[in-house]
Structure 1
């Protein structure tokens, strides 16, 4: 009997990857990848082109029975009534909307604002400080407080700076939503279509709980959009904003659509079904078969510590975002804008490659002779310091050596992730096992120091495309109709051990302030 194939698509910040997979075993069958343009503001058509190229590299999707798309979270895709993209998508790492995040927080912290009373969030148990009270109201409403990364702040930025664009918004969606919609055969109407009579099939847009929970206007506990908060960001009344299409939110194993047979499933009876997809962090969790008590630390463009939780997380300090996962649970996570590129910066500064950085770092003692890197090169999300820059502290004529500087860069990267781990743990998330993944996990220096900085053994799954694997696993789940996703093996390359060095993290905490 011939095997059934599914595909997992990962439309990440840097590229699109397509993994054609055996639905029964999770075995890789074919793979393709195509790069995205650099920058924090990107035309979504580049993602479509990259997807087509990656699918072709993977041998096409004609024989694929189901697929799902995992995508970079938060990216704002605005469509007009004809399905045309209104402006380049603002990605998660675009920080221009930081002032809008502050304004949205201030708005909900103002007890005298009549719009606040209309939201019905109340003041019981909240801070007397207006800023913290505003953050707490956002957390109570949607599980997260606005930072520049979240979609709601980007919508507010467009409303303030590009009102002509905001006035033409017919739909707001996310990168994975938009790509799934295109794979289903939808898209902008042709230029010769009658403007007055024609409207794109925007109602066919769909998403999942995990990605929707990163918008800032979706309550994953109640599974409803908070259109009142979206209206607040747009500066409109709720009735006026009600006509904007938001993707319907599917359950974990729901079917979103059937793919255009010219794109996928043309040789499969009944065609290729499209699963709900999900945000990249939730998809990686699914790809790693994570359960309650597991925490993944992913070192990619960003750094993310994510824990699977059976209950929603409400962090009233607004440091941890209370996202949903792809299985019906929750995925409280803390995210740094600065991830593995911290090591890239260290290599560039010292004129070495990754192996050279590791060799230098190994020559220094824990604590880098007293030097600490605070690695906020591109601003930072955790802690929320969008305008920050990186800094080396504690340098003297005696300790300023290449070895100490190299070690400070690696320790700074890992200490920033320890910050995230401690925040998630502080919400009561059980931490029995830490898994280290992402491109940064390939670094010999990171592997050598991770257990010491994180304070516990670290499992190192074999390097693989876990977002694409998670998307493929979801597709197989949807196809099966079973109550649980298929059990696919996750190969662990090594368990990293080392003596804990709590003094390094303590030094870092003192200096980051």
Structure 2
């Protein structure tokens, strides 16, 4: 039996998952870590800590199924997107990584658009710059920490550093590189013209390849630390939202994924780089040539429930919270939650946006707060859904992914708000399966993604159908939800 490994470097943990060629998980390891917030608007992580956590997760995976290392045909990666990792000539990290959740760079985005007008920038990048993207973070370092900037040998994304530690080769892939703000979307290469105008030396960039291509092989040093077999094939892998799409079989249009994790996003696979002219959504390269994806990104997903659980309610568990929420009818009896605890990206692209509970009365209690928080998360994603529909994207079904897919209540809220059946994947490791799939295709086990998806992706027969009366109620409440941001923008 041959196995493939997907290493998923998330925001709160790293998972190493071994799957067989039918996509079934045979072993897994996980190690958690935190975001460092030295100031309110900052979000950083120590790449040395993330590497140590990755080593531990891999060892846990191998310990769960002893002897598997000799049967691993390849390793792929899924990684949190956008973040900046800077390394010196010895490939040692310069300070902490500045990750996607960072909100410090509003001033630098303005500086970039003063040099390259937003319209010109958008024609090449097909996205609007957001705080947390690699480019504005790099410009911030250049302006605020010139001593660190002068030490930079290369810049890369978080998963690229972890892959370097495994195979000893520098590089990135088109799906992750396309999320940096430094990318030419149509031509699937670095936006050298824009970078020249901004004074960013092209020598700082690593080579970019497709997700399934060979990045290298497991080094002797990595084998000694992790227990992996020296010489094992290593693929480039990709950004987590794209790898999750692969793990859900999303390689052609008509199928959307609604992912609720720490943050959340709505995505749809495309065979051409379609983008929103108002630049409210994101368009990324997908896992191979002639594949792209459109995404609405929302910065507060499961983290909003975690905040409510730990900081406000002191609740026992998420299951206990959702059990309480089920006692409340759809619409939370008029209580609305704007989930912008960490700013927002789609559709407002506003790092200053704040969270709001609106409509609270004496009759409301913690049950209403929990349900309205869940509903607020999905309302925000419904804004992306409305944009997709305005662009002519008409998904015929939606797959629930991420932690939110585990909750029947979350699935029902999504079905009702999207007015669309909600499917789930039988496997619970979509990002890791997608990452493993890049290795399975790159190593030659499968000839392409179509064949890999046919063997490794299995949707559950259980489908959550929308409830008509809830659909009507949520459509009406959605109009109120959309007004909360605009009514409070000046106060934010």
Tell me the TM-score range normalised by the shorter chain.
0.7 to 0.9
- Select 1:85's aligned residue among 76, 83, 93: 93
Which residue pairs with 2:49 in the alignment? 46
Tell me, what secondary structure is at the counterpart of 1:492?
coil
- Select 1:210's aligned residue among 158, 162, 175: 175
Which residue pairs with 2:184 in the alignment? 219
1:95-174 map, 5 Å: 95-109=103-117, 134=118, 136-174=119-157
Deviates more, 1:340-349 or 1:153-162: 340-349
**Residues 16, 54 of structure 1: 8 Å contact kept:** yes
What is the rounded CA distance, in whole Å, between the counterparts of 2:143 and 2:407 in structure 1?
A: 42
The Cα of 1:252 is off from its aligned counterpart by 4.3
1:373-388 map, 5 Å: 373-382=337-346, 383-388=348-353
- Cα RMSD of the aligned pairs, angstroms, is 2.4
Tell me, what secondary structure is at the counterpart of 2:62?
coil
Deviates more, 1:470-479 or 1:366-375: 366-375
Deviations 1:164-190 (A, max 9, x none): 111221111111211111111x3xxxx
**Residues 414, 454 of structure 1: 8 Å contact kept:** no
Tell me, what secondary structure is at the counterpart of 2:5?
strand
Gaps of 5+ in 2: 37-42, 487-492
1:386-425 map, 5 Å: 386-397=351-362, 399-425=363-389
Instruction: Give the structure-1-normalised TM-score.
Output: 0.84
What is the rounded CA distance, in whole Å, between the counterparts of 1:253 and 1:476 in structure 2?
A: 8
1:509 aligns with 2:467: no
What is the rounded CA distance, in whole Å, between the counterparts of 1:402 and 1:88 in structure 2?
A: 38
Which residue pairs with 2:285 in the alignment? 324
1:281 aligns with 2:258: no
Tell me, what secondary structure is at the counterpart of 1:263?
helix
**Residues 152, 230 of structure 1: 8 Å contact kept:** no
Which residue pairs with 1:6 in the alignment? 4
Q: 1:345 to 1:77 in 2, by over 3 A?
A: closer
Q: 1:388 to 1:59 in 2, by over 3 A?
A: same
Deviations 1:238-264 (A, max 9, x none): 6xx1332x2222234321112214535
The Cα of 1:481 is off from its aligned counterpart by 6.0
Deviates more, 1:476-485 or 1:356-365: 356-365
Tell me, what secondary structure is at the counterpart of 1:165?
helix
What is the rounded CA distance, in whole Å, between the counterparts of 1:469 and 1:326 in structure 2?
A: 13
The Cα of 1:463 is off from its aligned counterpart by 5.6
Deviations 1:246-290 (A, max 9, x none): 222223432111221453599999931111210000111111111
What is the rounded CA distance, in whole Å, between the counterparts of 2:4 and 2:409 in structure 1?
A: 36
**Residues 174, 189 of structure 2: 8 Å contact kept:** no
- Select 1:27's aligned residue among 24, 27, 46: 24
**Residues 346, 357 of structure 1: 8 Å contact kept:** no
Q: 1:143 to 1:364 in 2, by over 3 A?
A: same
Instruction: Give the structure-2-normalised TM-score.
Output: 0.87
The Cα of 1:231 is off from its aligned counterpart by 4.5
- Select 2:463's aligned residue among 473, 476, 495: 495
Gaps of 5+ in 1: 110-133, 187-203
Tell me, what secondary structure is at the counterpart of 2:270?
coil
**Residues 460, 496 of structure 1: 8 Å contact kept:** no
1:259 aligns with 2:218: yes
Quick check: which has more Rg, 1 or 2? 1
Tell me, what secondary structure is at the counterpart of 2:441?
helix
The Cα of 1:493 is off from its aligned counterpart by 5.9
Q: 1:43 to 1:407 in 2, by over 3 A?
A: closer
**Residues 69, 229 of structure 2: 8 Å contact kept:** no
1:311 aligns with 2:284: no
What is the rounded CA distance, in whole Å, between the counterparts of 2:176 and 2:411 in structure 1?
A: 30
Q: 1:445 to 1:512 in 2, by over 3 A?
A: farther
The Cα of 1:56 is off from its aligned counterpart by 0.8
Q: Which has the higher helix share?
A: 2
Which residue pairs with 1:301 in the alignment? 262
The number of equivalent residue pairs is 460
Deviations 1:116-174 (A, max 9, x none): xxxxxxxxxxxxxxxxxx1x322211121111021111111111110111122111111
**Residues 75, 235 of structure 2: 8 Å contact kept:** yes
Which residue pairs with 2:299 in the alignment? 337
